[in-house]
Amino acid sequence: MNPQTATTHPALLSVNNVEVIYDHVILVLKGVSLGVPEGKIVALLGANGAGKSTTLKSVSTLLRGERGDVTKGSVEFRGERIDHLSPNDLVKRGMVQVMEGRHCFGHLTVEENLLTGAYTRKLSRAELRQTLEKVYDYFPRLKQRRTSQSGYTSGGEQQMTAIGRALMAKPTMILLDEPSMGLAPQIVEEIFEIVRDLNKREQVSFLLAEQNTTVALRYADFGYILENGRVVMEGDAKELASNEDVKEFYLGISSGGRKSFRDVKHYRRRKRWLA
């Protein structure tokens, strides 16, 4: 649909025809291919169970712990195959995943959470302090709450902690899974603003999985739409946002006024994407 995504920019990350099977029987990804160019924000969109998280985990190799296997295809980061590496290797190479549902270390303080993020780096005390201050610059709110156990902080603060923790590893690429989950719209905006800021100022590339299509397309450069474990559409974020089908299926608006979702969805989907 829009080949420029992969060709005009050298891809930092490229996922080639990846198939994932859970528990040896459940086929979740049926050949997903996508690319993240250096310095861009790429959104991975789709409904529940479309395979967004699985795609991210197949990249970060966290899949293995969940009895999932990449059975076909390959993942390359900076032109190097990474599917056989451990998450530890990947973090050292500059790619960190922020997991869905934030996964902060509840009994550690906010600051301790951030400090664990630098585990893979060999830093002097002063350098560590400096990195920490930098993260606090992006998330002033975390500085206020630095001594609270993160289990007692709010959802937004936990999301910030999780992103900040990933930043401590000084990544060039962050896999961000569902940052808006369970957060108030205002906090969601705040977090996406920070994502954009990090992208601009620190040149961090993002691959973000998101259900909130509206917000994600507003901040992303490119988008991929996943459905049933396949990429059904890809393109420039602005084009996607103005695409009639996307508008209808994911943004809930259509040119012919409001239509009943039930009437139109099933038929058009089949025709457009599966036939």
Partner 1 sequence: MQFFLEVLLGGLLTGIMYSMVALGFVLIYKASGVFNFAQGAMVFFAALTAVGLHDLGLSLWLAIPLTMLVMIVLAMAIEKIVLRPLVNQPEITLFMVTIGLTFFIEGLAQAIWGASVRKLEMGIDDVPLEYLLDTLGIAISQFDLVAAGIAFVLVAGLAMFFSKTKVGRALRAVADDHQAALSIGIPLQQIWVIVWGVAGFVALVAGLLWGARNGVQFALTFVALKALPVLILGGFTSVPGAIVGGLIIGASEKIAEVYLGPYVGGGIEGWFPYVLALLFLLARPEGLFGEKIIRRI
Q: Which residues bind partner 1 (CB under 8 A)?
A: 60, 62, 65-67, 86-88, 90-92, 96-99, 103-108, 112-113, 115-117, 119-120, 149, 151-152, 155, 162, 165-166, 168-169
CB 189 → partner 1: shortest distance, Å? 22
Structure token digits, residue 175: 């896999």
The residue (of 39 and 87) whose beta carbon lies closer to partner 1 is 87
Contacts of 245 (CB under 8 A, 6+ apart): 233, 268, 272
| Cα 217 from Cα 221, distance rounded (Å) | 8
CB 219 → partner 1: shortest distance, Å? 22
CB 26 → partner 1: shortest distance, Å? 17
CB 178 → partner 1: shortest distance, Å? 14
CB 63 → partner 1: shortest distance, Å? 11
CB 262 → partner 1: shortest distance, Å? 35
The residue (of 83 and 239) whose beta carbon lies closer to partner 1 is 83
CB 261 → partner 1: shortest distance, Å? 32
* Residue showing tokens 């922020």: 98
**DSSP conformation letters of the chain:** --THHHHTS-EEEEEEEEEEEETTTEEEEEEEEEEEETT-EEEEEE-TTSSHHHHHHHHHTGGGGGTEEEEEEEEEETTEE-TTS-HHHHHHHTEEEE-TT----TTSBHHHHHHHTTTTS---HHHHHHHHHHHHHH-HHHHHTTTSBGGGS-HHHHHHHHHHHHHTT--SEEEEE-TTTT--HHHHHHHHHHHHHHHHHS--EEEEEES-HHHHHHH-SEEEEEETTEEEEEEEHHHHHH-HHHIIIIIS--TTS---HHHHHHHHHIIIII-
Question: Does residue 54 contact residue 29 with C-beta atoms inside 8 Å?
Answer: yes
